């Protein structure tokens, strides 16, 4: 699996848009990009997955440039409940078929 | 959506005892389940891959005789920590796949907090 690099931590305020960028320079042609969210003492929760360009769901958007060497998770108008650790993973789109290698993740702290 | 449960959510035991943790896929069948452990402020680390009807595949450095995994059905996998010691205290998380031809997302259980006294 391609190695990913994310900022260790980020701070934001309620109502702001938060963008978390993940670097994956060695992404392979068949690799997809998947983001998970984890609250303290809970299992990770799937947020979004994409291959290229932009993907949007009811929770977030994922922006992937043409070279796919990075990706940006965008959380619109964050609230206190978005305080969590966010993990970027790169690999086969069928994430359920093989174990996931989690990096250090980005710890997002949302302030009132 | 796909739901994965774990039981118990937390357990405290004495050193030397064994503890069993159950992982269930509630609304789907999971041929493969995964077990991770997570220490405070750290990322998840894979322990083993659990395949229904066959032996689990353990990651390097994980003692298979200490962490017994049984995947007896398509909806249940169990992790037994045998002769637990304080250093086994951790957050154990299982995951399972909902399967599918187009996407195959891995869903995680809520985790089990094990404290060994």
Q: Closest Cα of chain A to B33: distance in Å?
A: 8
Round to whole Å and give the CA distance between B88 and B70.
19
Using the CB atoms, write b or e for B81-106: b if 16+ within 10 Å.
beebeeebbbbbbbbbbbbeeeebbb
**CA dist list (Å): A32 to A89, B58, B92, B100:** 8, 25, 26, 16
Count residue pairs from A and B with Cβ separation < 8 A.
63
Please report, for residues A76, B22, B36, the alpha-carbon distance to residue B27 in angstroms, rounded to integers and kept in the order given: 31, 16, 21
Nearest to B106 among A41, A95, A104 (CB): A95
Predicted pLDDT at A35 = 94
Interface test with B, best of A30, A33, A44 (most B CBs within 10 A): A44
What pLDDT is attached to residue B32?
84
Give A103's pLDDT tier (boundaries 50, 70, 90).
Answer: confident
- Nearest-CA distance B66 → chain A (Å): 20
Looking at the complex, does the CB of residue B96 fall below 8 Å from at least one CB of chain A? Answer: yes
Residue A7 has, within 13 A of its CA and on its CB side, a CA count of: 13
Note down pLDDT in tens along chain B; length 117 residues.
Answer: 689 999 999 999 999 999 999 999 998 888 789 999 999 989 999 999 888 888 899 999 999 999 999 988 889 999 999 999 999 999 999 998 766 555 567 889 999 999 999
Could you identify the residue written with the tokens 């005892």? B17
Rounded Cα–Cα distance for residues B62 and A105 (Å): 23
């Amino acid at each position: 699996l391609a190695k990913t690099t994310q900022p260790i931590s980020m701070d934001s305020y309620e109502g702001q848009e938060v963008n978390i960028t993940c670097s994956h320079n060695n992404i392979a042609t068949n690799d997809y990009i998947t983001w998970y969210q984890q609250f303290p003492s809970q299992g990770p929760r799937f947020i979004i997955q994409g291959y290229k360009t932009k993907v949007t769901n009811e929770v977030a958007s994922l922006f992937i440039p043409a070279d796919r060497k990075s990706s940006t998770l965008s959380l619109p108008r964050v609230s206190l409940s978005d305080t969590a650790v966010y993990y970027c993973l790169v690999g086969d789109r069928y994430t359920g078929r093989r174990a996931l290698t989690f990096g250090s993740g980005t710890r997002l702290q949302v302030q009132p | 959506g796909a739901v994965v449960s774990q039981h118990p959510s937390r357990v405290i035991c004495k050193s030397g005892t064994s503890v069993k943790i159950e992982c269930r896929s509630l609304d789907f069948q999971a041929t493969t389940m995964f077990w991770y452990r997570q220490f405070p402020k750290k990322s998840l680390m894979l322990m083993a891959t659990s395949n229904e009807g066959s032996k689990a595949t353990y990651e390097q450095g994980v003692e298979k005789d200490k962490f017994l995994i049984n995947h007896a059905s398509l909806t249940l996998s169990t992790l037994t920590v045998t002769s637990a010691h304080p250093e086994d205290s951790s957050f154990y998380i299982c995951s399972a796949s909902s399967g599918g031809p187009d996407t195959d997302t891995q869903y995680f259980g809520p985790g089990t907090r094990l404290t060994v006294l």
